[in-house]
Amino acid sequence: MIKATPREQIEQLKLGTVDFIAESELLKKIEKSVATGKPLSVKFGADPTRPDLHIGHTVVLNKIRQFQDFGHHVNFLIGDFTAMIGDPTGKNETRPPLSPEEIETNAKTYAAQIFKVLDPEKTTIVYNSHWFSKLSPADFIRLSAQYTVARMLERDDFTKRFQSHTPIAIHEFLYPLCQGYDSVHLKSDVELGGTDQKFNLLVGRELQKAYGQADQQCVITVPILEGIDGVNKMSKSLDNYIAVVDSPKDMFGKTMRVSDQLMMRWYELLTDITPAQLAQLKTDLKEGKKHPRDTKVNLAKFLVKRFHGEAQAQAAEEEFNRMFVDKGLPDEIPLIEVFPTTEPVGICTLMTQVGLTETNSEARRLIQGKAVEMDQVKVQDDKLKLDLKSGMQFILKAGKRKFAKVVVK
């Protein structure tokens, strides 16, 4: 546990956040905590239907870990109550209710991942079905009486849907109230989330007041991390993510592929760099005192070390060097996914398919000119047939500068 004055805690906790509501209140809470020795109750909620964490999630987990390092306690809330309902309209058959067993399995998957960042000794995993199953219909109506339709429609996505006449079912208004009621039940001192959760977190704060709690939770939001494409938010469905459980090799390789600009953003959000160090790094890069590639290697090593340890970080770097640097491969090779084939496919056809050549005859000429390599080995035969099986991957090089990493789905 890090010894720190309330003011020092605040300064550290503020770093990298977007909303910090409200500093004065949190300072008072921390002062009281320091005086009484009673840790703050920090809440973070997760949806048990998607237990695969990517490093975007770790932005908020890092912030929560800071609270733990200062001695505070975390309630990691599994929102299983609504997950057990599934799609309440009954129209979406692809979103069946989760069984208690599935939720338990997902919760365990979560635990395995979050404890790469969080301190298990200072974390309680709680399930909101425990209190919601005890609520009566009358309690539910009382809960929904605490908020108005107009204020709920102020939430960004509701505003947009309402204005564009996209239906909002009434139960969707109940979900933020349920999430807020979790804070009432847990008597949370602080709740954290991404900036997209700001509205919901504030509902919790207001409901605590409506339910007569003297202190309301502070609300802290952190930025949403961009994915490896540098454009969209990191998400599994956009396939621009690094999973917390990705192999050291993948984690290292994917990080090396991000743009220099995104690299700085990741430094800011994913590492423990201080604002002063970050400013210095930017200056050094600008003045050529540091090389972007080395800086990116350091970031990649940092991430692998965090999730897989020091030895793996070292090994990943060495493998990367062996694969790319030592053999003259560029850092960024376009990744091309292809489907497995039932019959072997010709090398020339494949090269054209993955965009290395315009035509099969161009491919043939290059092979005959000894200008094509597969995993650093020269291709000798332009009649070569490849049996593409799921999971295979290799690097094709055509001429001096064209590369493609072929991944068979």
Note the residues at the interface with a copy of itself (CB under 8 A): 81-82, 84-85, 88-90, 132-133, 135-142, 144-150, 152-153, 162, 165, 167-174, 177
Question: Tokens 């984690």 — which residue?
Answer: 251
Which phi and psi (to 5°) does residue 46 adopt? -135, 150
Q: How many alpha carbons lie under 13 Å from residue 369 in its C-beta half-sphere?
A: 10
CB of 105 to a copy of itself, least distance (A): 21
CB of 204 to a copy of itself, least distance (A): 15
Q: Where are the alpha helices (DSSP H) in 38-79?
A: 58-69
Distance separating alpha carbons of residues 55 and 233, to the nearest angstrom: 11
Name the residue nearer to a copy of itself (CB basis): 146 or 341: 146
Name the residue nearer to a copy of itself (CB basis): 138 or 276: 138
CB of 93 to a copy of itself, least distance (A): 15
Name the residue nearer to a copy of itself (CB basis): 83 or 225: 83
Name the residue nearer to a copy of itself (CB basis): 210 or 285: 210
Q: How many CB atoms lie within 10 A of CB 50?
A: 12
CB of 50 to a copy of itself, least distance (A): 20
CB of 205 to a copy of itself, least distance (A): 17
Q: How many CB atoms lie within 10 A of CB 190?
A: 26
Could you tell me if 147 and 98 are in contact, meaning their C-beta atoms sit under 8 angstroms apart?
Answer: no
Name the residue nearer to a copy of itself (CB basis): 147 or 320: 147
Distance separating alpha carbons of residues 79 and 74, to the nearest angstrom: 15
CB of 148 to a copy of itself, least distance (A): 4
Distance separating alpha carbons of residues 264 and 1, to the nearest angstrom: 29
CB neighbours of 380 closer than 8 A, spacing ≥ 6? 367, 370
- Residue 149: burial class (beta carbons within 10 Å; 0-12, 13-18, 19+): exposed
Name the residue nearer to a copy of itself (CB basis): 83 or 281: 83
Name the residue nearer to a copy of itself (CB basis): 139 or 387: 139
73, 57, 54, 68: which is closest to 12 by C-alpha? 68
Name the residue nearer to a copy of itself (CB basis): 181 or 307: 181
217, 274, 262, 208: which is closest to 19 by C-alpha? 217
Could you tell me if 175 and 158 are in contact, meaning their C-beta atoms sit under 8 angstroms apart?
Answer: no
CB of 159 to a copy of itself, least distance (A): 12
As a whole number of angstroms, the longest Cα–Cα distance in the chain is 81
Name the residue nearer to a copy of itself (CB basis): 92 or 321: 92
CB of 177 to a copy of itself, least distance (A): 7
Cis peptide before 22 (omega within 30 of 0): yes
Q: Which residues pair with 194 in a beta bridge?
A: 222
